[in-house]
Amino acid sequence: MGGWVEGDPVGDRRFLDLPAPFPLDRGGTLPAVRIAYETWGTLAPDGGNAVLVEHALTGDSHVVGPAAEGHPTPGWWSGIVGPGAALDTDRFFVVCANVLGGCQGTTGPSSTAPDGRRWGSRFPEVTVGDQVRAEVALADALGIPRWAAVAGGSMGGMRALEWAVAEPARVEALFFLASGAVASADQIGTQTTQQAAVRADARWAGGDYAPDAPPVDGLGIARRIAHLTYRSGLELDARFGVQVQDDGRYAVASYLDHHADKLARRFDAGSYVLLTEAMNSWDVGRGRGGVEAALARVTARALVAGVDSDRLYPVEQQQRVADALGVPLRVISSPYGHDGFLIETAAVGALLTELLGKP
């Protein structure tokens, strides 16, 4: 149960230990940080063909590739990365790192602290800014002075935008998808409700739960709540309606049960709470004079896109970013809601190809 831990099969991961200590936005430091990442393609001698892909909340560094030892699920954006794909690995060197605070090889609550115990509740609060600074250190270590593009959707879109604002000279192109520049009350509300579900599980133990008895019931409820925001009501109605299965469960309830069970097998509850709190605190304009002032720092060529049926990150949130960057908003038509950014790979790939151009 839960995420990757030391001693599990490494799979395609590589690791980088950052120089210690690692300072954090909200005060304090982490005495040690390890970043797990994967790469595809070959880095050009000048480092100029590198693309950073940013994963969403329950994603990880495994953007493309089969499920295998060390990787409980297949790549989450397989149609986007690979030879001849929009992020053509014959042309680009593609990098994806598990986010700081995550549970798939990068230091997070389930990692071992310097005293030999799991971090658990002692793991400090992290921000999107902290997460991007860890990726800056990774880029430096890999010899990448400037990304040809930074691309991400949902929580990954936050980090992509933070890169373009915090490090404008290091981002040539920005692909911002199905995300926002600042957390909304609606997003904070649904995410704090998910956190409450995790904390209500008796096994949560204040965040210091036993590794062999994690709060899977609470995490499962959190995932059910989240998944309803990831899909559209139209799709759920068309797909399930009020159908009742032979076991007496509504078909839609069975579907949510399935996704809850899947997540509990591969994700750490502590990371879920920590990362949703980082999303709650997201505001690209904090300390920068507001959202529009922050976005005025962006020098990257930008493409901003949303999904027309997205009820978690509605298109008006992407419209605000597009307006501030002076680019048209591109809208992907999909019945799948927020998850359209993962499912509609043909449409997403076409937009990426437009942004990056042909070789």
Sheet holding 173-177, edge to edge: 14-17, 34-40, 93-97, 50-54, 149-153, 173-177, 301-307, 329-332
- Dihedral sign, CA of 118, 120, 124, 127? positive
What single-letter DSSP state applies at residue 61? S
What single-letter DSSP state applies at residue 136? H
Greatest Cα pair distance, the chain, in angstroms, is: 61
C-alpha span between 349 and 88 (Å, rounded):
10
Q: Which of 110, 268, 338, 339 is catalytic?
A: 338
Strands 34-40 and 14-17: antiparallel
What would the two tokens of residue 194 be? Answer: 């998910």
Phi, psi of 159 (to 5 degrees): -70, -35
C-alpha span between 76 and 65 (Å, rounded):
9
C-alpha span between 219 and 223 (Å, rounded):
6
Q: Which of 130, 201, 310, 339 is catalytic?
A: 310
C-alpha span between 318 and 55 (Å, rounded):
18
334 is known as an active-site residue? no
Q: Which distant-in-sequence residues (6+ apart) come within 8 Å of 248 by Cβ?
A: none
338 is known as an active-site residue? yes
Q: Which of 110, 154, 281, 309 is catalytic?
A: 154
154 is known as an active-site residue? yes
Residues that are catalytic: 154, 310, 338
